Structure 1
Amino acid sequence: MPLQFKMETLCHKLPKYLDRQLQGAMGDATGIDDSGPVTIAVIGCGQRGQAYAAYALSNPSKCKIVAMAEPRPNTCALFAQMYSIDGTLVFRDWAGLHAASAETIKTIGHRLADAVVVAVQDNMHLQVVEAFAEQGYHILCEKPMATSLEDIMKMEAAVKRAGIIFGMGHVLRYSPYSKAITEIVRSGTLGELINAVHVEPIGYFHFAHSYVRGNWAQEEESSFSLMTKSCHDIDILCNWFSPATPIRTSSFGSLKHFRKDVKPSAAADAQRCLKCPCERTCPYSAKKIYLDPVTDGEKGWPASTIVDGIPDIENIHEALEKGPYGRCVYESANDVCDNQVVNIEFSNGSTASFTMVAFTSLICERQTRLHFTYGEIVGDMSTFTVTDFRAGTSTLHTPPLEGGGHGGGDLGLIKTFVKAVKAGKQDMVGTNIDEVVKSHLTVFAAESSRKEGRVVDCIEYEKDVRRKVGLTAGRSN
């Protein structure tokens, strides 16, 4: 629909929309009305946007999805239907939603919603966050915050300038499992946290899907894999050691396996899995990962992410014949690390090590060991054992599962964000823009260490980044 026509239609129907659906719950320029649910516009309705939006279905009195922007027609239609979104508030891109919001703010002094969920591609985060922060929307932004140091500094400035509530998709903080561990760390019952050993097993076919064939395969198009996959692992480590902060980091890693020079000779010159002579014995076979599960009736991830709408045998087969997800993993245009280790020293002398690795049977089920002066915690994202050296006891903890991805972290984040928006309190999010920026800078510093072969001073690194970005901004003014 042409934007001008849609704007006229929106302005004509808006009073009815307000009366019928919001009845005063839509946020104005100053705050949130207590009479209804927090209203949200979802920008990017793929896997992550859907993960956060799902909270509204089970908690309609607390949260309501009232607007959306999604370019894929089938995905857009299915999402709009699922959340009963008024047709005038369904947009094919974020710019259309933003323009409609500007018009309603101008004409009647209302935004279209209280908050927005930003779940577009990583390299678009800055422009979307800047635009909607300026209009006064509270924002939940999927991780990573941004894909360059300059963009992170700009987003930090935009959020602070707007004075909005800001949430980051660091979902690991918000699962019942992580919150239970954090409570023990903060309680001091095991003494001081001295060391952490944390491993993220990405999963062999998950890595092939997302970081060899998928949207995060090339650093230039997105960012390096430590950032796009594991920035929330570095974040939760920083959170556990807080108020101590990272002072030094070192890192090693490489793209070790998913390269043309290690392609099995039996694959010969095959470019696609559907025509490969050794497809049946290849663990990264696209047929095994996408087509076989759909043939057996499985419609979920990862097949659901490679087509527009509901996956079936025909559209998956076509995607594997024509698109990147059917290419041989040894012939793909990927360049990000498939294994990496990071070491961090904190300002109180404590240390942490983190490993990100593709070649695992487990998919994102982190293993963590936390070592304290008087005990230790050993966990696997489902259960954890607390050993108290002084009492001579070991206790198994099994936090309740709340559903949703990341052990309930997705649900925990959106629920926490909605509560914070309703109350108008940033501290209810459990973090703030300063902490978010610092953990992202630690990730960038670690990647600099890997590329440059040196130990990076995190404090000097941040000072240098801010100086350089400040000079760049000054030259552009």
Structure 2
Amino acid sequence: MTSSIISSTKNLFRKYKDRMIEADAEPVTLIVIGCGQRGKAYGKYALQSDACKVVAIAEPRPQTRKLYAEQHRVDATLVFETWKDLHAASADTMKTVGKRLADAVLIAVQDHMHVEVALAFAEQGYHILCEKPMATTMEDCIRIEEAINKAGIIFGMGHVMRYSPYSQEITKIVQSGALGQLINIVQVEPVGYYHFAHSYVRGNWGSEKDSSFALMTKCCHDIDIICHWMSPSPPVKISSFGSLRHFHHRAKPLDAGDAIRCLDCTMENDCPYSAKRIYLDSVSRGNTGWPVSTLVDGIPDIENITAALKEGPYGQCVYESNNDVCDNQVVNLEFENGNTASFTMVAFTSAICERQLRMHFTYGEIIGDMNKYVVTDFRANKTKTFHPINEGGGHGGGDMGLIRTFVEAVRTGNQQLLGTDVSEILRSHLTVFAAEASRREEKVINCVEFERKARASLREMLAQTVLR
């Protein structure tokens, strides 16, 4: 049954199709705004395929900018320190030459910057791939939707889970109806104890005012894919519970005393969140990738990582940091057709982002962990395990799958290839905002009414701006 749905030949077909694209068409040209971890992840496709080429970049960090430009052989005249400088150069080129610098823009800057960059380049007519989340407020997400629709451009979202071989194979089974009607989904996002400490305590996503709440910054693509699997039935009710349970001063071990930094702490060797263990010991073993690569500008080594731990936020005690986002949260959803789903995000696990999935159908079930999934058909009384082929890249191949699909969508002018559009992306983001509202307000949220109020709020804000 499922073997007829899933075929190993599709991976060969993808590679064959890429070769045909490369042979028959000029490469899609890309601008990369932000050359950090996500910018590198998406840019990797341009180094492996002739389907696209990075022709301009903007990155404030000197060494990161230099290394990225060299790797992609970007002309020095198209290497910029800020996105605003690049945007101005694009405006000049459009005015003098009558065309844009490239076909599309990849937005991989900090979350709070997404809206201004997206609006600016949408106005110039660039196709856009934006890293998740879309924006950090409901109003800004709606503004992006309106700008994209007005410009009539291709829009991709960094919901990479949709584009991994694992997820796409499961999606085909869901949509085929081979196991009957999907009734319930249970998904767990095990962020990982040191991953959470790195990104959501010490790192860029630890403070809500500097970024957004954890459910949005970490898990918006979990909610998105749950809604995708349940479509076309939309979510109508949502509830959520969660808190910052452990990473705060009250949980600090007494033996740590007054130490503010791990390198000054007498019990550092016994702490699972030790910065020395996570970063310094890692680079001493030759690891120059994530997470140590995020601490410094350029290539990490013992000297510059030590300096970062002595002076920067990544060397701080996790119990003395300025973080305020949830380290555990659950979300419950009811859909229009009566289907249900539950989602859990938790920091305290060694299964770093290896999401656990259970899908319950009228005639079967699927149990998965992102590396494999097991399909049971109740009617045939048969169970089979599948191991999707990861062609490389992060998120089980989702990073590569997304950028490949986006490039092809731009090349052909076909938004449908991405399997979503800006309005659906907005709705899944509003569902995440509704979940957080439920957690804060301690009540069940009506998703339809929540969206109506969000749009009305933006209209009111715009009206007040005009009156001023």
Q: 2:201 aligns with which of 209, 212, 218?
A: 212
Q: 1:117 aligns with which of 68, 82, 106?
A: 106
SS at structure 2 position matched to 1:53: helix
The alignment of Structure 1 onto Structure 2 pairs a total of residues equal to 443
Q: Which whole-Å CA distance do the structure 1 matches of 2:423 and 2:234 have between them?
A: 12
SS at structure 2 position matched to 1:190: coil
Q: Which whole-Å CA distance do the structure 1 matches of 2:287 and 2:446 have between them?
A: 48
Q: Which whole-Å CA distance do the structure 2 matches of 1:103 and 1:85 have between them?
A: 19
* Counterpart for residue 94 of structure 2: 105
SS at structure 2 position matched to 1:251: strand
Q: Runs of 4 or more off by more than 3 Å in structure 1?
A: none
* Counterpart for residue 58 of structure 1: 48
* Counterpart for residue 357 of structure 2: 368
* Counterpart for residue 175 of structure 1: 164
* Counterpart for residue 323 of structure 2: 334
Q: 2:75 aligns with which of 86, 109, 117?
A: 86
* Counterpart for residue 416 of structure 1: 405
Where in structure 2 are the equivalents of 1:230-309 lying within 5 Å? Answer: 230-309=219-298
Q: 1:155 aligns with which of 122, 144, 150?
A: 144
TM-score of the two chains, using structure 2 as the length reference: 0.94
* Counterpart for residue 165 of structure 1: 154
Q: Which whole-Å CA distance do the structure 2 matches of 1:196 and 1:92 have between them?
A: 45
SS at structure 2 position matched to 1:391: coil
How far residue 464 of structure 1 moved from its aligned partner, in angstroms, is 0.8
Q: Which whole-Å CA distance do the structure 2 matches of 1:144 and 1:461 have between them?
A: 19
How far residue 40 of structure 1 moved from its aligned partner, in angstroms, is 0.1
Q: Which whole-Å CA distance do the structure 2 matches of 1:299 and 1:113 have between them?
A: 31
TM-score of the two chains, using structure 1 as the length reference: 0.92
Q: 1:75 aligns with which of 47, 61, 64?
A: 64
How far residue 380 of structure 1 moved from its aligned partner, in angstroms, is 0.3
Instruction: Report the residue type matching 1:428 in the other structure.
Output: L
Cα deviation per residue 1:138-157 (whole Å; 9 max; x = unaligned)? 00000000000111111111
Instruction: Report the residue type matching 1:433 in the other structure.
Output: V
Q: Which whole-Å CA distance do the structure 1 matches of 2:297 and 2:312 have between them?
A: 13
SS at structure 2 position matched to 1:345: strand
* Counterpart for residue 462 of structure 2: 473
Instruction: Report the residue type matching 1:122 in the other structure.
Output: D
Cα deviation per residue 1:109-141 (whole Å; 9 max; x = unaligned)? 110000000000000000000000000000000
Q: Which whole-Å CA distance do the structure 1 matches of 2:462 and 2:333 have between them?
A: 30
Instruction: Report the residue type matching 2:393 in the other structure.
Output: G
Cα deviation per residue 1:184-242 (whole Å; 9 max; x = unaligned)? 00000000000000000000000000000000000011000000000000000000000
* Counterpart for residue 13 of structure 2: none
Instruction: Report the residue type matching 1:167 in the other structure.
Output: G
Q: Which whole-Å CA distance do the structure 2 matches of 1:402 and 1:297 have between them?
A: 24
Instruction: Report the residue type matching 1:318 in the other structure.
Output: A
Q: 1:351 aligns with which of 321, 340, 355?
A: 340
Q: 1:442 aligns with which of 424, 428, 431?
A: 431
How far residue 298 of structure 1 moved from its aligned partner, in angstroms, is 1.1
Q: 1:96 aligns with which of 61, 82, 85?
A: 85
Is structure 2 residue 381 aligned with structure 1 residue 403?
Answer: no
Instruction: Report the residue type matching 1:215 in the other structure.
Output: N
Q: Which whole-Å CA distance do the structure 1 matches of 2:396 and 2:127 have between them?
A: 25
Instruction: Report the residue type matching 2:169 in the other structure.
Output: A
Which sections of structure 2, spanning at least 5 residues, go unmatched? 1-23
SS at structure 2 position matched to 1:386: strand
SS at structure 2 position matched to 1:308: coil
Q: Which whole-Å CA distance do the structure 2 matches of 1:85 and 1:130 have between them?
A: 25
Q: Which whole-Å CA distance do the structure 2 matches of 1:470 and 1:462 have between them?
A: 13
Q: Which whole-Å CA distance do the structure 2 matches of 1:213 and 1:244 have between them?
A: 39
Q: 1:46 aligns with which of 28, 36, 46?
A: 36
* Counterpart for residue 318 of structure 1: 307
Q: Which whole-Å CA distance do the structure 2 matches of 1:154 and 1:271 have between them?
A: 41
How far residue 474 of structure 1 moved from its aligned partner, in angstroms, is 1.2
Cα deviation per residue 1:268-299 (whole Å; 9 max; x = unaligned)? 00000000010000000000000011112111
How far residue 437 of structure 1 moved from its aligned partner, in angstroms, is 0.3
How far residue 425 of structure 1 moved from its aligned partner, in angstroms, is 0.7
SS at structure 2 position matched to 1:39: strand
* Counterpart for residue 9 of structure 1: none
* Counterpart for residue 8 of structure 2: none
How far residue 468 of structure 1 moved from its aligned partner, in angstroms, is 1.1
Aligned Cα root-mean-square deviation (Å): 0.6
* Counterpart for residue 19 of structure 2: none
Q: 2:115 aligns with which of 126, 140, 144?
A: 126
Q: Which whole-Å CA distance do the structure 1 matches of 2:93 and 2:457 have between them?
A: 38
* Counterpart for residue 228 of structure 1: 217
Q: Which whole-Å CA distance do the structure 1 matches of 2:446 and 2:136 have between them?
A: 21
Is structure 2 residue 413 aligned with structure 1 residue 458?
Answer: no
How far residue 401 of structure 1 moved from its aligned partner, in angstroms, is 1.0
Instruction: Report the residue type matching 2:356 in the other structure.
Output: Q
SS at structure 2 position matched to 1:216: coil
Larger mean Cα displacement after TM superposition, 137-146 or 150-159: 150-159
Of all paired residues, the percent bearing the same amino acid is 64
SS at structure 1 position matched to 2:55: strand
Instruction: Report the residue type matching 2:346 in the other structure.
Output: V
Q: Which whole-Å CA distance do the structure 2 matches of 1:342 and 1:298 have between them?
A: 36
Q: Which whole-Å CA distance do the structure 1 matches of 2:382 and 2:251 have between them?
A: 49
Q: Which whole-Å CA distance do the structure 2 matches of 1:165 and 1:231 have between them?
A: 20
Is structure 2 residue 108 aligned with structure 1 residue 143?
Answer: no
How far residue 35 of structure 1 moved from its aligned partner, in angstroms, is 4.3
